[in-house]
Amino acid sequence: MSKPKLFTPIEIKGLTLANRIVIAPMCQYSAEEGNMNEWHLIHLGKLSLSGAALLTIEATAVLPEGRITYGDLGLYSDQNYAAMSLTLESIRRWSDMPIAIQLSHAGRKASTEVPWKGGGQFAPTAGLGWQTYGPSAISYNADQQPPVALDKERLKRVRDAFGAAAARADKLGIDIVQLHAAHGYLLHQFLSPLANQRTDEYGGSIENRMRFPLEVFDTVSAAFREKPVSVRISATDWVQGGLTLEESLVFAQELEKHGAGAIHVSSGGLHPAQKIAVGPSYQVPLAREVRKVVHVPVVAVGLITGYDQAEAIVGTGDADMVALARTILFDPNWPWHAAAELGGKIRVPNQYLRSQPNRYRGLFETE
């Protein structure tokens, strides 16, 4: 029986990952003033023992006003850095899983309540709210106050903040930085004509609309000292007049030219009128199209729950890796179970070696 492709190594700009399973960034909305706390140690620590190849820290704001909610993580202050350092030190004592971090700015979708309390947007004058910013003064919903359009000075502030956060991530020993250019947040807002109606060099054609995200990429890449920088994109807005797959393919090719280590393909999140036919692997065709035009690893995501399903995605070449989010929250040992089902091997902590069932002898690799 041939070795399942899902459990073969892959390299991203010199970083070797043990298999093709990535833990996607998942917002926890549980930070305090942007700082990690005990929840993040429990949450990330549990996932760091899962056997996946890469653990990605949730969307982490590069500026306070770039947080989605008041509970978002940040990496814009020394306090944020210190709290994250303590958490990572504890995790790394017991796990050697490579760690990535997703750097983000929410743009016009910032200043909201946490999801389990409704998720509505706070006005800038509300106690928990703040002023939002975007490429243009166009709100996400008609009943929201429009963001302030970023002028050249504020564009520089945002760009520099991404660079400063990447430098902190480098100092923390983070292995990969992922830029969040998806799901309707700031960098995606620049890419989409539905949110970006600027008349300067940052608006209009796709070449102009991707200019600022590419400037941010270059700033982050330099600050991260040429270690792998990946990008999460929304390949389509799923709305007429919005960002198209064809435009995203152009963007993906430019990212590769600028040195992107990998491209993580998602979709949507930019406009409330989006119409998405959600189902198993519903975003995989988008990843397949991106993979046709780039030569860097492509990550697929979106209702990937089955072991054979994940193996088929990487085995047929639709994508090079799969990213799990809700699936691995529901089953934190999903990679163990996938290896058992598919005939792969997986590394587990020495303390858990005795958990291997008799029928799966040889499943666990030892150091």
- Which candidate in 140, 185, 202, 307 is catalytic? 185
Q: Is 29 a catalytic residue?
A: no
Q: Provide the CB-side half-sphere exposure for 294 (13 A, CA).
A: 31
- Integer CA distances (angstroms), 139 to 225, 291, 328, in order: 36, 33, 33
* Nearest residue to 193 (alpha-carbon basis) of 179, 208, 183: 208
Token couple for 59: 């969307």
Rounded CA separation 274/207 (Å): 24
Torsions phi, psi of 180, nearest 5?
A: -90, 100
- Integer CA distances (angstroms), 4 to 56, 201, 310, 339, in order: 23, 47, 10, 8
Q: List helix spans (H) across 276-352.
A: 284-293, 307-315, 326-330, 334-342
Q: Is residue 195 within 8 Å of residue 105, measured between CB atoms? A: no
Cite the active site residues.
185
